[in-house]
Structure 1
Amino acid sequence: MIKSFTIDRLIAAVDRCPFSAHAGRIVANSESFHIDEPRSAKPLYTAEERRRRDESPWTLVQGILAPTQFAVFLLSLYLVLDYLATGDGYAWATGSIVAKTVVLYIIMITGAIWEKDVFGRYLFAPAFYWEDVFSMLVLALHTAYLVALFLNLLPPQGLMVLALAAYATYVINAGQFVLKLRAARLQQNAAAAAAPAHGASVAGAVK
């Protein structure tokens, strides 16, 4: 069973950022009063789905590929912007975009397999329906770049602009997944914190 490296750990790292108010949590004064997502919201995972997620080897694969893709994206973004600013480094920028697109295809395919393992369907599981829908746009724009590149449909600057449009959708899509998984993590933490308190109140009532 693979439990040492799950999506929760990645989200836990993101959750340490100073922008918690923009991600569903409001902190006030020294008492650290905060408002989380509604606890009555439907959990992202059922207990069985969470078990399948933790046992699936594709969880580890996704945990490795997600930061890898982001690192490739950052390098490629720099190379693209540098080319647009200076006119130099077209080959490096193009190679980086192709590499980013290849990684995207890999993470989409393995992500679909992960979704099948956890939710029983390859895409558009209710828990990640809108994220998957937007992922199709991300994939379409990256694919459009490859088609335009290999068929010579656009000039170099046009190709770079298309790549930036694809990258913009990628950033939005990544944010969707991070916020969704963070909400799930907060729900899980709230449920875990409420369980002992509920047990204590029942014990007190018995006494």
Structure 2
Amino acid sequence: MANLGFIDRALASFDQCPWSTFAGTSGHYASFPATTPAATPISSNVRPPIYSSEERRRRDASPWTLVQGVLAPFQFLVFAVSLWLIVWYLATGEGAELATASIIAKTLVLYTIMITGSIWEREVFGKYLFAPAFFWEDVVSMLVIGLHTAYLYAVVTSALGIREQMLLALLAYASYVVNAGQFLVKLRSARREAERMTSLPRRPQGRAT
């Protein structure tokens, strides 16, 4: 994966997704212990690591990690353009068709990233959705998908007027921003977690007695 370092640095600059090629790492990281020694007391307010050592290995080996790292900033770019077009329409009454097309494009990108993200989650955590490490992010993601799908339904059936459709799209976009913020916080936590593990002194490899 070292040959992807440049791509990862570029993707990390967006800092919008927990699935960049080395999400939550900084260079070479120390492995998390697979088990905690029984003699070591664990405080109830100490959070478990986001990734176990094996989950980190699977994450870095999965091709879907890079797919997610590319799709996340791309979705944000589509979102930003679409948001501008929606605001332009609401302010001027012009460009309804272009704004509608941009929202549909944003929704299709969302569907793509949710499907590939579920595959990624299955490969890394063994569950397509609601893995403990990303449970609440997935919960809000369901709301995001629901609102975007409701928009498509409103467009296809003309259940809402064009202005109401745009307002529904803004509501869907607001939920997307909240969800992106969740993932940003999780990414920062994962990176700090990796930095702490990297700073831990390595155990000396002494001979068995």
Q: Same fold (TM over 0.5)?
A: yes
2:58 corresponds in structure 1 to 52
Q: CA deviation at 1:43?
A: 0.8
Q: Distance in 2 between matches of 1:179 and 1:67?
A: 16
1:180 — aligned with what? 186
Report SS of the residue matched to 2:200: helix
Q: TM-score, normalised by structure 2?
A: 0.78
Q: Which residue of the partner structure matches residue 151 of structure 1?
A: 157
Name stretches of at least 5 consecutive residues in structure 2 with no aligned partner. 16-44
Runs of 4+ residues deviating >4 angstroms = 5-12
Alpha-carbon distance change, 3 to 186 in structure 1, aligned in 2, over 3 angstroms = farther
| Shift, 1:158, TM fit | 0.1
Contact 1:8–1:185 (Cα < 8 Å) also in 2? no
2:177 corresponds, among 143, 150, 171, to 171
Equivalent pair of 1:6/1:60 in contact (CA under 8 Å): no
Partner of 1:112: 118
Quote the residue 1:20 is aligned against: none
> Which of 71, 82, 85 matches 1:76?
82
Q: Which amino acid aligns with 2:13?
A: A
Instruction: State the 1:193 CA deviation.
Output: 1.0
RMSD, aligned CA: 2.5
Q: TM-score, normalised by structure 1?
A: 0.79
Does structure 2 retain, via aligned residues, the 8 Å contact 1:62–1:107? yes
Are 1:135 and 2:154 matched, yes or no? no
The CA deviation at 1:190 is 1.1
Unaligned runs of 5+ in 1: 16-38
Match of 1:13 in 2: 13
Q: Which has the higher contact order (CA 8 A, sep 6+)?
A: 2
Using the alignment, how far apart are the partners of 1:120 and 1:92 within structure 2?
Answer: 40
Structure with higher helix content: 1
CA 1:10–1:144 in structure 2 vs 1: closer, same or farther (change >3 Å)? farther
